[in-house]
Amino acid sequence: MQESNLVQFIVPEEIKQARADKLLAQFFPEYSRTQIQRVFDNKEVFLQGMPIERKQAVNSGDELTFTKPEAKVTSLTPTDIPLDIIFEDEFIIAVNKAPGIVIHPGNATGDDTLVHALLHHTQGNLSMSSGELRPGVVHRLDKETSGIILFTKQDKAYLDLIKQFSSREVKKEYLALVLGCPGLEGGSIKVAIDRHPIHRVKMTVPPTGKGKEAHTDWAIEERIGKIAALVRCWLHTGRTHQIRVHLSHLGFPIMGDRQYGYNANRLKLPEAPRVLLHAEKISFTHPETQKKIELKAPLPQDFKDYLDLLRQHSSR
């Protein structure tokens, strides 16, 4: 078996436990379920060097290796889209993602994702370990979230950063503009998160004993009268919509986040332009030099403009 035909995949930190076949189908949409089932049937999926069955349970941090099937889609068209590059070398690239852009291709997306833009910028030089529809993708931000996101150019760098994310060595800080003003100066939210039982595109705080552990620390960055607050958040886990769910659970939904409780009528102000969440800082160990890298992305203009609007309103 040629090494170039092997795909290495490290189970992300947010996946506590899952069936191996369902996990690969979720993270490698370029392969059909039939193709994935076939590599299991052919004993070509390995966990710690041993072939496994489809129903094998795998956990966060486990490393799977499997033979690459013939993909349904084998290429993406690079697209010339402006990028705000914060850091770049021959191993990694960090982008200050604009709000409104999707990270990688999926259902109902076009050729205007961040991956399409990076394929153009790097002339196709992105790691393929994350799958042919998600080259270079190490982690994700929601469509409306702005800020720092990392991509890798080499497979070795991809595997190293995935391990750092899985072991929670990567430190991330976010700024969120919330509706209402907490009485406390800060706190720690340790509340599990799970898929909503009815609205499957949403996440929710489940009954005690269910869901996946989630931990967010927060602190007030700025109080804007009694109508809003700028809140700094530190992620210790990486659950889907984690900050959005946790802040809503506290009673302070993020401005613009109708999915999790935002109601513009409470302010009698213009609608927030989007979910006002920004990935401001990230720190990690460079996968090649082993030096500590700390990066920061400034607030985008739409965030700053709405923040100024709230300040003016609160000062009346």
pLDDT 10s digits, 247-262: 999 999 999 999 999 9
Nearest to 227 by CA among 307, 314, 316: 314
Instruction: State residue 75's pLDDT score.
Output: 67
pLDDT > 80? residue 127: yes
Domains contained in the chain, CATH given: 3-67 (3.10.290.10), 85-166 (3.30.2350.10), 171-282+307-314 (3.30.2350.10)
On average, the pLDDT of the chain sits at: 91
Least confident range from 77-91, 190-204, 208-222, 294-308: namely 190-204
Task: Kindly state the average pLDDT of the residues 273-277.
Answer: 97
Contacts 24+ apart (CB under 8 A), 30-35: 30/71, 30/72, 30/73, 30/74, 30/131, 30/132, 30/133, 31/69, 31/71, 31/72, 32/72, 35/69, 35/70, 35/72
pLDDT > 60? residue 2: no
Task: Kindly state the average pLDDT of the residues 272-290.
Answer: 97
Q: Give me the sign of the Cα torsion angle 96, 231, 166, 28.
A: negative
Token pair in block for residue 32: 């059909």
Residue with tokens 């992620």: 235
User: Dihedral through CA 289, CA 64, CA 118, CA 147, nearest 10?
Assistant: -70
Q: How far is Cα 261 from Cα 244, in angstroms, rounded to an integer?
A: 10
What pLDDT band is residue 46 in, cutting at 50, 70 and 90?
very high
Q: How far is Cα 134 from Cα 30, in angstroms, rounded to an integer?
A: 9
What pLDDT band is residue 73 in, cutting at 50, 70 and 90?
very low
Instruction: Report pTM.
Output: 0.78
Task: Kindly state the average pLDDT of the residues 76-98.
Answer: 96
Residues annotated as catalytic are 142
Q: Compute the C-alpha angle 265/260/170, nearest 5°.
A: 130
* 130 phi and psi angles, rounded to 5 deg: -90, 5
Q: How far is Cα 222 from Cα 75, in angstroms, rounded to an integer?
A: 46
Evaluate whether 287 touches 293 at the Cβ level (below 8 Å): no
